[in-house]
Every structure is written in structure tokens, then in C-alpha cells.
Structure 1
Amino acid sequence: MDSHFYDRLSAELKDMESAGLLKPERIISSAQGGVVDIGGRKVLNLCANNYLGLASDPRVIDGALSATREWGAGLASVRFICGTQDIHKHLEASIAEYLGYHDAILFAAAFDANGGVFEPLLSEQDAIVSDSLNHASIIDGVRLSKAKRYRFATNDMNDLERVLQQARAEGVRSILIVTDGVFSMDGTIAQLDRIVELAERYGALTMVDDCHATGFVGPDGRGTPALKGVAGRIDIISGTFGKALGGAMGGFIVAAQPIVDLLRQRARPYLFSNALTPAVCGASLAAIRIACSPDGDERRARIQNNAAAFRSRMRAVGFDLIPGEHAIIPVMLGEAQLAQQMAAELLEAGVLATGFYFPVVPNGKARIRTQMSAALTTAQVHQAADIFEHVGRKLRII
């Protein structure tokens, strides 16, 4: 045994703890929802990606149970060996149709979808132009590709055009612009209409990670491309079944047929990961049906109303919020230890809301990221705002 190795790890953990950078895991003793049980107490949950409130919806649960009874607990195989069932093809067809694409390919996680998409499609002759605030999974996926790498300042169209001009001047073959549809730490929405305009001007392809949008943003919940009026003009969309669409797990890519076909042959996370369980497929299919229904419309309206009400209340008492209209509402605090302290005080007072700090966000940009959902009632949103105000005044934040 290398005792120096373990001593080094222990020292790193102590340093993280003293800097307030350890991430505690709070154990939930109930199903996911607007109210959860923690330590024998019911608390309001303001930090789940459960945007449509479907994680514990009986219809979604029934979808998972029915699929398990019919198709079994799992495949014990990757897709190309003996891991493809009818239900996998049904889910791929359903998400592709919902988002208006030819086909879809499933991954064990959305992180894997972003991790596996670039390397098979692009070589050293090509270029990836990435927003500087893109999700970690995009950053890791880009690192695995041999393509040339360019970054542009987040949501800055002048800087994007500068980078596109540079890439073209350097003679690259194909350019892929990639951006989050919604930036998960800030809740800001990408300017996809302008990105598509620039892409078409410079002969580039486009990709959007729409994990924090699919199901509840834009007309019929079809995501940021629909919201920005460029539905069908984005070449590749990555998404998840782990947020609005059931809250389970699993990712996907929707794109034109040649892209999907090549990913099936060469995307390593797809080739070397077990197929999604039938339960996840069944739950996700049920969630897509709900998202497409009048119930989905009602839930999307509830999210918008909850977000507007919470933003208004929080601004009125003096909290520093990142402006926006999305269900992600970051409460800016600056220092990691303050974010940790506030999260602990909020939980004690009855609200589960997690602090985010370096390396998840830049140093000095620590925050409490709150997220509205259709699982919360109007009264609960106001109750949460009251608790935030109480804790904020106690800690002299406001």
C-alpha cells in the first residue's frame, strides 16, 4: 500500500473542507417531489431538475412498472450485441418525433451523449466552436475529439463571429458550433436564432444541449430551438430523460439519419454501455405523452407562473438574482462558505436548496441555485420566498 497516496488524498479533502468546498449529500426518505422527507421532516424542494413534476407521477411510475413486467429488469448487454428491444426503438422514435427529427439514439446518460458525439463525427480537419460556459459533459466530449477547438465568450455573437472567421481563415473543413440551450448554472438562454444565422452565413453546423429545456421550454415544450424560432434548423440536439421528462436517467441525440447511423457504429459510450433498462424507457415514454398533452401545457404554465412569482418576491426583498425568465433562478452570494451556511440554514427552516461553488462555478461566484417546478403550488412558492427572506436577514445577506 502507498501510504503517501492516501495521506495526499486526506490532505486534499481537509483543504476542501476548510475552504467550504465539500459537497454534502442530503438523504431523502421519500419520492422526489415539491415536498420531500429529510431527517424525518417534510421540506420544500427547490433544487430538483424535476421541472414538470413527473418524477413521482403515477402515470410515469405505471409506465416503468408495466415495461419492467413485459420486458424484464434489464438487458445485460450493450445495444449491438443483444440489448435492443422494441421499447428502445419506440422511445427513440417518440423523442425524435417530439422534437421534429429523423431519428434518435439513446445513451445511458446525457453526459455520455455529449461525451460520445464529437469524436465519431469530426477529425483533425474539422473544428468545434464551443460557448465558454458549456456544460462539463460538452467540455469533456470536445477533449476526446481530434478536432481543432475554439471558444467564444458566452452568448456573445460578436465573439462567435470572430471565432468563425478565424476558423474559416485557418482552412478547417467542417465547423460545429455547440452551445447549451439553457446554461444550467445561470438560467440564461442561448441566442439560437442569431447562432443559426451566423452558422448559415459561415457554412457551419450547430449542436444544442437542451437538457434544461426539453419538455417545458418553448411551444409544446419542444425546447430552446422552438422558443427561438429555429426548430428544425439545429443539426444536433442532445437531451435527457433525467430532468423534465420523467426525472429518471438516460440521454439521447436527435439528428439527421446519417449522424445517428454513424453514432450507432462509432460512439464509444453507446457501444460499450448497457442498454437503458425497460423501466427507464417505459417511464420516459409516459413522460413524453404527458408533455405533449393539455396536462403538459398546464404544467408549463405553472412553471412560468411559479418562476415569475419567486423572482418578483426575491428581488423585492433585495436578493441578488441573475436576470432571466427560466425556471433556474440563481441567488448570488459570492463566497462558498456563505453558500454552504445559507443552504444549511434554509434546510433547517424548511427549504432544500443546494449551494454551488468552485469548481462547479467560478471562484467568487458561489450561489444558491433554485429551480421552480410544476410540483410546487403557488402557496409553496411564497412560503419558500418567506423562508429565504428570513434566512437572508438572519445571515445579513439582505
Structure 2
Amino acid sequence: MPFDLSSVLAAREAAGLKRQRICLDSGQGREIWVEGQAYLNFSGNDYLGAASQPEILQAWRAGLERWGAGSGASPLVTGYSQPHARLEAQLCDWLGVEAALLFSTGFAANQAVLKALLGKEHLQWQDRLNHASLQEAGAASPAPMKRFAHNDMAHLARLLAPKRGLIISEGVFSMDGDQAPLSELVALSQASGNWLMIDDAHGLGVLGAAGRGTLAAQGMRANQVQILMGTFGKALGCAGAFVAGSRELVDYLANFAREYVYSTHLPPAQAEAISAAIAWVQQADGAREQLQAHIALFRQGAAQLGLRLGDSQTAIQPLLVGESEAALILAQRLRQRGVWVTAIRPPTVPAGQARLRLTLTAAHRPEDIARLLSALAEATA
């Protein structure tokens, strides 16, 4: 056989790293059902509870009636319609950018940008903890990739060369929940003459005035970076992604980003739902405040239990465990107590840094946090 898949899978299972899909019996929410049993859900990315908001659901239904189930083609053929154009304009107004381009997923958006922009004449500088979509696209590009220590601006400054390419960072890091020092990144970008790209998948909607994201939360403007990527599948409760920047950047990507040019566009009905989600998120100060209260409540209780959390003030709260097997055992103990938390293991995180990735949402209740803390106290005793 040309491919010995069974041996590779067996080796991954022996190392405690094999993944298994879990089929839910329910939709997303503070509670999920698996194989007929209810669990408190601390593993989702629906940070504000937007996925179940009636106005968003109704916008999707109305979009289906008006525009049908799919877009029918790639956006440069006949797949680009009025809901897409309205959504792009809405993103520009919300975030204060010149132009935006829609993609099917955040993974595709990140891959599209790096593949379309980076040539062998360029350099790229990536935070060591960037998402896999960024690191994989960077590794596959002809531009040499220099990885700087996580959020270490002094290290980045030593690696930079003038006017050679692209600095790339997340706004909120997906596995650690901490934020990039965006003002320092902007300053280094400006001083070196290199472009800056920020992936704000986990900050958009959650942080900043009107949910404008990590840049706004840190007193920055979106137009201070050349490339901003955000997703609709986290705080906005839908699916899809966008890349925003100058009109010239968006025109360039529409011509040269293969993930855009050669993919069927996201359905117009989905674009209608996303537009409704943005309108809802802009007014969701109460949900953002509730989420912050839950984060503070959880971190206070975890400190009292002596749990080893990452340095995060966002919805992503990593409970550091160390070895993969220990993380799996802890996750299983929590499930036995009706609490669903996912164990994150290499290669998603570095070797020896397996963890439980706890995610808090505005839809949780204080009693849910108390139950989570009680289950953690029992499971770690």
C-alpha cells in the first residue's frame, strides 16, 4: 500500500493525541446534549450568545425566502449579490475601514492573504503562537518566515528588516486568550516600513466600543493596520470571515486570492444573517458586560482553588495541565460531572503544554460558573 494510514493513526492514539469527532444532539448554547445527556458547555466560541438571537435567525429565514439556499457561483462569476455588498459596506462603517472582502472561513481568509501577497522577495514575521492557518500558509509561501517569541516586541524588533514584508499577529490568541500589544506592533510596523496584519477572530464583537475588537479595546483604529481579518463564527454566532483594508488591497485580493476567486461564495441568506448579527452585536453592551462579570467570577474562584490559569482576561481561559493524557483524564472527569470542556493537545499547542480550553459566554449564568468551579475542585482533588 502506498499509504500506511493505520500505523500513523495507531501511533497518534498511543501518544494520546488522536482526535475524535463528537456528534451533538442539540444546537449550540450554554447547554449541549451528547448521546442523550445534557452538559454545561464551556467549549464553544459563541461568546455573546448571538447564535440563538431571534432577529438573527429571522434574518436568515427571510434571506432564504428572498435569495435561496446558496449563492450559485464564485463571486467573480454570478455569486456576488446585494446582501454581500451591503454586508461589506456595513463592515466598513462599523470598523472604519475603506473596503472589505468576504470569505467562507477564517482559515480560508488567512490562507488567501498570505498566499496572494507573499513572494520570494518578501519576509514575514509571525508570532510563535499564531493560529495554524497563518503558520501553515506562511510556511508554504516562498517568503522566509521568521517567528518571534510570543508577544516579545524586543525580539521582533531584532528580527525586522526595513520594507521587506509583513508582520502577522492575532489580536486575541485562540489558545491562550491573551492579547497582542497592538500599539507596539503598529509602532514597529511604521518604523520599519513593513505591513501589519491582525487576525482578530476572537476579539471582534467581544472587545472594544460597539464590539469593534481588540484594536478598539486598546485605543487603536482599524485603519492603523494594513490588513484586518475577522470571523463571523465566534461572537457574531454565524459563520464566514472577512479581510479588510484599503480599496487597493481588496481589489488585489479579489483578483489574486485563489480561495476567493475559485470558491463558491457564501450564501446571500447567510450574509443577511451576518448583517443582523453585526447590528445586534453593536448594541450588545449588556452581553459584553455580563461576559466580563463571568470572567472575573471564574478567575476569582479558580485562584481560590489554586488552579493554574493562563494570563487571560478574555472569554478564553486556558487551564494549563502539561501532559496530554492528564488533560484527557481531567476533561473526562468533568464530563462525568455534567460539564463539557475540551482537552487541547499538541500539535495545536506546544509539547508539554496540554490544557483544558475553557470558554465563557454571556449566555452562562452565575450558577453555571459555580458548578464549573465545583466540578473542577472535585476533578482535581
Determine the C-alpha separation between the residues in 1 that align with 2:267 and 2:335. Answer: 34
Aligned equivalent of 1:260, options 245, 250, 273: 250
Q: Distance in 1 between matches of 2:370 and 2:358?
A: 13
Paired residue for 1:24? 20
| Residue type of the alignment partner of 1:208 | I
2:296 matched residue in structure 1: 308
Deviations 1:122-159 (CA, angstroms, capped at 9, x unpaired): 32222211111111111122234333322211100100
Is the CA contact (8 Å cut-off) linking 1:196 and 1:230 kept in structure 2? no
Q: Which residue of 1 aligns with 2:82?
A: 86
CA distance in 1, matches of 2:374, 2:302: 9
Q: State the alpha-carbon separation in 2 of the partners of residues 60 and 390 from structure 1.
A: 39
Q: CA deviation at 1:175?
A: 2.5
Q: Who is 1:141 aligned against?
A: 137
Q: Determine the structure 1 residue equivalent to 2:102.
A: 106
In the alignment, structure 2 segments of 5+ residues that lack a partner are none
Partners in 2 of 1:280 and 1:308 — Cα distance?
34
| Alpha-carbon distance in structure 1 between the residues aligned to 2:144 and 2:272 | 39
Q: Is residue 2:40 matched to residue 1:50?
A: no
Using the alignment, how far apart are the partners of 2:211 and 2:99 within structure 1? Answer: 19
Partner SS for 1:76: coil
Counterparts of 1:208-357 in structure 2, within 5 Å, are: 208-231=198-221, 232-246=223-237, 248-293=238-283, 296-357=284-345
Q: Does 1:372 align with 2:372?
A: no
Residues 129 and 176 in structure 1, CA contact (< 8 A), matched pair in contact too: yes
Matches of 1:19 and 1:151, distance apart in 2: 27
Are residues 114 and 43 of structure 1, via their aligned partners in 2, closer, same or farther at CA, if it must alter by over 3 Å? same
**After superposition, what is the alpha-carbon deviation per residue over 1:338-376, rounded to whole angstroms, capped at 9, x for unaligned?**
111111121121111000011111111110000111110
Cα distance between partner residues in 2 of 1:135 and 1:20: 22
Contact 1:225–1:234 (CA<8 Å) still a contact in 2? no
Counterpart check, 1:188 vs 2:178: yes
- % identical aligned pairs: 36
Instruction: Give the AA of the match of 1:344.
Output: Q
How far apart are 1:325 and its partner, in Å? 0.8
- 1:361: which partner in 2? 349
The CA deviation at 1:120 is 2.4
CA distance in 2, matches of 1:194, 1:176: 15
Q: How far is 1:305 from its partner?
A: 0.7
- 2:153 maps to a residue whose letter is M
In 2, Cα distance between equivalents of 1:50 and 1:229: 25
SS of equivalent residue, structure 1 residue 83: coil
Structure 1 residue 23, shift from structure 2 partner: 1.7
**Residue 174 of structure 1, CA deviation:** 3.7
Q: What runs of 5+ residues in structure 1 fail to find an aligned partner? A: 394-398
**Distance of 2:213 and 2:240 partners within structure 1:** 18
Give aligned pairs, total.
380
Structure 2 Cα separation of the partners of residues 144 and 20 of structure 1? 28
Task: Normalising by structure 1, report the TM-score.
Answer: 0.93
- One-letter amino acid matched to 1:386: S
The offset of 1:281, in angstroms, is 1.1
Query: 2 CA distance for matches of 1:22 and 1:146?
Result: 31
Q: Distance in 2 between matches of 1:193 and 1:277?
A: 36
- Alpha-carbon offset, residue 278 of structure 1: 2.3
Please say if residues 181 and 212 of structure 1, whose CA atoms lie closer than 8 Å, have aligned partners that are also in contact.
yes
Deviation at 1:306, TM superposition (A): 0.6
Matches within 5 A, 1:149-228: 149-164=145-160, 167-168=161-162, 173-228=163-218
Cα offsets for 1:151-192 (capped at 9, x unmatched): 21110010011011xx23xxxx44211101111111110000
TM-score, normalised relative to structure 2:
0.97
Correspondence 1:125 to 2:156: no
Could you tell me whether the CA contact under 8 Å between 1:77 and 1:275 is conserved in 2?
A: yes
Q: 1:75 aligns with which of 71, 74, 78?
A: 71
Deviations 1:99-137 (A, max 9, x none): 110111011111010000023233222221111111111
Q: State the shift of 1:227 in Å.
A: 1.4
Question: SS of 1:79's equivalent?
Answer: coil
Pick which of 361-370 and 36-45 moved more: 36-45
| 1:329 counterpart SS class | strand
1:144, 1:268 → 2: CA distance? 14
Supply the distance in 2 between the matched residues of 1:382 and 1:184 (Cα, whole angstroms).
24
Q: Distance in 2 between matches of 1:316 and 1:93?
A: 47
Q: Distance in 1 between matches of 2:262 and 2:148?
A: 33
